[in-house]
Structure 1
Amino acid sequence: MSIDAYPYLHRDPAPGAPLVFAFHGTGGDESQFFGLIRDMLPDAGVVSPRGDVSERGANRFFRRTGEGVYDMPDLAMRTERMAGFVVAHRARHPRSPAVGLGYSNGANILASTILHAPALYDRAVLMHPLVPWEPAPDPRLAALDILITAGERDPVCPWPLTKALVDFFGAQGSRVGVSLHPGGHEVSRGELADVEAFLKNAAGAPLTGSAPTA
């Protein structure tokens, strides 16, 4: 459990403000969402790690053997490592609620850590996630507020698989919102507007949180 398990950018939260963990997509880096989150939530803290897997030079958070085919042992190992990283940073700000935000590969490592340790985050945004396995039911997920975004014609993360993930979280009692645009894997302006509203908690209960253990 180390705050230095990954190269990362960070900014401390103002008192009472959330701590946002931001996870880039394949080929991105720690700067992909850092400035965007600062613009959306000026008082929030941000921790934005860089994936430590290289796929033909593109940064990722875990290995895969083909499009949509994950190296599951590698994913399990890297999920444990990421969970420890998140716990270590949360321990530095125990009064800040934790929010996770990830896009594509970043959404997938975020989803995997949520399924591994639901208490890691109070609120999460999964942008174009792909979870190509059937998660085990977990009543602890009922405490989670989650927004899932997708493109109806996404060739990387097909909507039926995303819809199955939406239904899974709903069945666990999570409070699930969906932002769906008619395009593909790209992030739309409307999608970003929905993400900003969710992060600002425009329609939800006040965020509360305490540092978990992994």
Structure 2
Amino acid sequence: MRMYAYDIYEPIGRKEGKIFPVIFALHGFGGDELDMAGRLELLMDRFVVVSMRGDVEYGPSFGFYHMVTEGDPNAHEVDYTSLRVAEFINNVCKKYDSIDAKQIFLAGFDQGAVLTTSIMHSYGGRYKAAAILSGRMPHYLSERPVNLMLKDKPIFIGHGLEDAVIQIAEADEIAKFFEKMGCKVEKHSYFIGHNINEAEEDDLYDWFESFLPNQPVKK
């Protein structure tokens, strides 16, 4: 399978042999690899960040799969893309000795959130946790068997209350989907549209940092 284009950000000044948890970031429709990297910048001294670029071209921008005018995206295309991303993650983790392959996180916005939901359902046992931002619930996933490997997996869900592109109700559906599998779901909503604001970034930073060792316990 063809590899995705990507940017990798490794902590500066890291000592030889030291490994770090890794976040694989997937952008939304009409974005590119710089979008999510900018959102995760403050974590780059403690995490390796791999920001991917979808390979479906829309003018100067990109998507991970073809858009549909309404309803679920094409299940076969999303399944195939999910497999490709999972294989990409495996390959990148083998390629860089700065990555702790036992601590792999996913973070996706819009199309990237749909893919993150799909990847976690199919391959989530391999990953530590996932952040799903402004995503849509692919309803065909609800008809598939429960993945027992997802029990106790942390899931962060963030969504804009005024999102006119993907309604906030989709976030509730995603939360129910993962709660049914026994995941530890943390749901956040913000007074924004189809985007990410500073408040959501702050919550996301806190959530990712909670996985690092020697973190103070929140009171």
Tell me, yes or no, whether TM beats 0.5: yes
CA contact (8 A) 1:103 1:128 kept: yes
Q: Specify the alignment match of 1:187 in structure 2.
A: 196
Q: Specify the alignment match of 1:168 in structure 2.
A: 177
Query: Residue 12 and residue 189 in structure 1: after superposition, are their counterparts in 2 closer, same or farther (change >3 A)?
Result: closer
Shift in Å at residue 70 of structure 1? 0.9
Q: Provide Cα deviations, 1:67-107, integer angstroms capped at 9, x if missing partner.
A: 44412221121111111001112234345511111111111
Residue identity matched to 1:20: I
Shift in Å at residue 42 of structure 1? 1.1
Which whole-Å CA distance do the structure 2 matches of 1:119 and 1:90 have between them? 16
CA contact (8 A) 1:41 1:200 kept: no
Within 5 Å, give how 1:30-109 maps onto structure 2: 30-55=33-58, 57-92=60-95, 93-95=99-101, 97-109=103-115
Equivalent residue pairs, number: 203
Query: Could you tell which deviates more after superposition, 108-117 or 133-142?
Result: 133-142
CA contact (8 A) 2:137 2:173 kept: no
Query: Residue 112 and residue 206 in structure 1: after superposition, are their counterparts in 2 closer, same or farther (change >3 A)?
Result: farther
**Which runs of no fewer than 5 residues in structure 1 stay unpaired?**
208-214
Shift in Å at residue 162 of structure 1? 1.4
- How many percent identity over aligned positions? 24
Larger Rg: 2
Which whole-Å CA distance do the structure 2 matches of 1:117 and 1:83 have between them? 7
Which whole-Å CA distance do the structure 2 matches of 1:52 and 1:20 have between them? 20
Point out which structure has higher relative CO (alpha carbons under 8 A, 6+ apart). 1
CA contact (8 A) 1:68 1:130 kept: no
Which whole-Å CA distance do the structure 2 matches of 1:57 and 1:38 have between them? 23
Q: Provide Cα deviations, 1:18-51, integer angstroms capped at 9, x if missing partner.
A: 1110111111111112244232341211111110
**Which runs of no fewer than 5 residues in structure 2 stay unpaired?**
215-219
The one of 20, 25, 40 equivalent to 1:22 is 25
Query: Could you tell which deviates more after superposition, 115-124 or 55-64?
Result: 55-64
Query: Could you tell which deviates more after superposition, 86-95 or 100-109?
Result: 86-95
CA RMSD across the alignment: 2.3
Report SS of the residue matched to 1:148. Answer: strand
Q: Specify the alignment match of 2:217 in structure 1.
A: none
Report SS of the residue matched to 1:153. Answer: coil
What is the TM-score with the length of structure 1 in the denominator?
0.85
